[in-house]
Amino acid sequence: MAKQNNRRRTTSRKPKKKPAVLRKKLIKIGIIAASVLLFFGIIYHYRNGLAYYFSFKTDKVLDKDAKEKRLSDVRNYQILEKNDNKAIGIDVSEYQDQIDWDEVETVDDDYQLSFVFVRATVGNDRLDKRFQENWLGAKENKLIRGAYHYYRPNENSIEQAELFIKTVRLQKGDLPPVLDIERLPENQSVERLKVGLKRWLSKVEEHYKMKPIIYTGERYYDDFLKEEFSDYLFWIANYNFYREKMKEDWLFWQFTEKASASGIKGNVDVNVFNGDLQQLQFITKE
């Protein structure tokens, strides 16, 4: 007689999902959901700028001669719209080539221009090729004008100041002189650079009886100038997409280098003054 097999048959069970796998899937779903929300949040935030870009605004009429729009226009429109109570201006140099000053009135066809900064000198030996015509053109077009000097860190600061003084004659209604510093020195320390900047600023202030303005980038300002030059007013450049408001301690904010202005071919820098036109006039030469 055959022996009965008493072994119990084992039933196969599906393995349970490990908690770690489930957690990863939940995290992935959460990231996707957050990304979707962020995307639509950005669309909503920039809805006016995007409407302008795609010409969905009812007061925008496209024709065959309409200017080509760029994505940078979305941010430009957003900032200009938020600062329509402030004075708007541009800055120019020989890089804008010949400017039709009789036509220089608006930025992006909508926003009235109140002021312009004109590059006058570079280092200790170079004049901007179009300074005189731009300087006179701005005055004739009744724009509040200012002149700036591009500072070369490795050249003598007094010679640079003397070149600017020799070139620029400020009149009643003109803005204070501007020192443009953007680069670090190659053959001297940052401390020596600061000494040179102070010498330029002092000599120019003594001549014009006006405290100069300093132009620089936001990071340069934070890293090298903010503490030691705190008694000066600053014109700050920041083109980052996330930046939509100027800080309270900025006098001017250059928010883009890719805008269009009537009377100027190609791109131009646009700036916001931290105040209205009347307040801008208050800081001009008496």
pLDDT at position 57 is 37
Confidence check: pLDDT of 2 > 60: no
Cα separation of 145 and 170, whole Å?
9
Query: Tokens 């953007």 sit at which residue?
Result: 182
Whole-number pLDDT of residue 71: 63
Instruction: Report residue 41's pLDDT band, with 50, 70 and 90 as the boundaries.
Output: low
Q: What is the mean pLDDT of the chain?
A: 85
Look-up of token digits 């109570």? 85
pLDDT of residue 40: 59
Q: Is 84 a known active-site residue?
A: no
Higher pLDDT among residues 44 and 30, named by residue: 30
Compute the distance between CA of residue 117 and CA of residue 144 in angstroms, rounded to an integer. Answer: 9
- Residue 214 in 3-state DSSP? strand
- Whether the Cβ atoms of residue 268 and residue 90 lie closer than 8 Å to each other: yes
- Given a cut of 80, whether residue 242 has pLDDT beyond it is yes
Among residues 235, 179, 161, 176, the alpha carbon closest in space to that of 210 is found at 176
pLDDT value, residue 70: 62
> Which H or E run includes 201?
helix 190-208
Q: Is the pLDDT of residue 107 over 70?
A: yes
- Distance between CA 30 and CA 7 in Å, rounded? 49
Annotation says 182 is catalytic = yes
Catalytic hit among 97, 103, 110, 182: 182
- Within 8 A by CB and 6+ apart from 127, the residues are 120, 121, 163, 167
What's the pLDDT score for residue 66? 41
Q: Is the pLDDT of residue 52 over 50?
A: no
Query: How many C-alpha atoms does 39 have within 13 Å on its Cβ side?
Result: 6
Q: In whole angstroms, what is the distance from residue 216 CA to residue 237 CA?
A: 6
pLDDT the model gives residue 61: 37
Helix (H) or strand (E) holding 196: helix 190-208
For the segment 187-199, the average pLDDT, to the nearest whole number, is 95
pLDDT (mean) for 238-247: 88
pLDDT band at 74 (very low <50, low <70, confident <90, very high): confident
pLDDT for 42 equals: 53
Contact call for residues 179 and 210 (beta carbons, < 8 A): no
pTM: 0.78
Question: In the prediction, which pLDDT does 16 show?
Answer: 55
Structure tokens at 147: 């002149």
Predicted local distance difference test score (pLDDT) of residue 153: 96
Helix boundaries (H) for 87-156: 131-140
% of the chain exceeding 90 in pLDDT = 67
Using 50, 70 and 90 to split pLDDT, how confident is the model at 26? confident
Tokens of 127: 């004049």
Q: Which of 273, 181, 158, 165 is nearest to 228 (CA)?
A: 181
Q: Mean pLDDT check: name the lowest of 52-61, 129-138, 265-274, 275-284.
A: 52-61
What's the start-to-end Cα distance of the chain, in Å?
A: 126
Task: Quickly state the pLDDT bin for 54 (edges 50, 70, 90).
Answer: very low
The pLDDT confidence band at residue 62, using thresholds 50, 70 and 90, is very low
Q: State the average pLDDT over residues 126-149.
A: 98
3 state DSSP class of 204: helix
To the nearest 10 degrees (0 to 180), the angle between helices 157-167 and 190-208 is 30
User: Which range (135-139, 171-175, 182-186) has the least confidence?
Assistant: 182-186
Q: One of 73, 91, 128, 269 is an active-site residue; which one? A: 91
Distance CA 132, CA 52 (A): 36
